[in-house]
Amino acid sequence: MKLFHVDASAKREWSNSRALSRHFIDLLKQQRPDVEVDYLDVSVDTPAHVDELFTIATYTPEADRTPAMKQALQASDALCARLLAADAYVFAMPMYNFSMPSSFKAFIDNIVRTNLTYKIGEDGSYVGQLADKVLFITTRGADLRPGTPFSAMDALTPALRAAFGFMGVAAPTFVDAQPLTFSAAEEREAALVRAKAELAAVAGEWAATR
């Protein structure tokens, strides 16, 4: 199994999302020694923001691109190739201001590419090209679970679902650890215990598949 693993927390050794993604991959590797990991830390290797040349180049048919356009798309092409070479994905990130870290948004802006991560069928339909095995691990300071007063402010889950749904990921798995900051210590502990139990279940499911 080729796994593409992306971390996005600005925090390093104190990061909960990093610790949880490492924990998941350890659990998976214990059951599947064939797991190969391609790792990207977007808080360090942050993909470039979309600039004007990129916007023109990305919608110019490949055969018509100038050398400058090709150059503008080079890093994005390479990221898409890494994604398309994988058959499973783990994306770990904290919630920042109700949505994703801007480094992960820059990553998304680099990987949603016509004729690479999605294709357009003859009938005009969009056909996503990513493998449908995606785990999002998110960490949140507050508790935004359904039924809580803050649940309507969760702009992270729908944004991830939309972007990856467009690239063919119909049923991603979410493990959301919350509340991890703005709560009593027992609630934080319980949130981590819940997240680890959910990760163990996902690792077991993934280990049992091809």
Please give the C-alpha separations between residue 29 and each of 20, 25, 100, in angstroms, as whole numbers.
14, 6, 27
Comparing CB distances to ligand FMN, the nearer of 8 and 73 is 8
C-alpha 145, offset from chain centre: 20
Comparing CB distances to ligand FMN, the nearer of 54 and 143 is 143
Min dist. Cβ of residue 169 to ligand FMN (A): 22
Min dist. Cβ of residue 150 to ligand FMN (A): 7
168 three-class SS: coil
- Beta bridge partner(s), residue 135: 90, 173
The verdict on whether residue 115 carries a ligand-binding annotation is no
The verdict on whether residue 17 carries a ligand-binding annotation is yes
Min dist. Cβ of residue 18 to ligand FMN (A): 6
Binding site for ligand FMN (CB under 6 A): 9, 11, 15-18, 94-98, 139-142, 180-181
The verdict on whether residue 16 carries a ligand-binding annotation is yes
The verdict on whether residue 9 carries a ligand-binding annotation is yes
Please give the C-alpha separations between residue 89 and each of 126, 181, 193, in angstroms, as whole numbers.
21, 27, 22
C-alpha 59, offset from chain centre: 24
Min dist. Cβ of residue 114 to ligand FMN (A): 32
CA distance 136 to 42: 15
The verdict on whether residue 183 carries a ligand-binding annotation is no
Binding positions for FMN are 9, 15-17, 95-98
Binding positions are 9, 15-17, 95-98
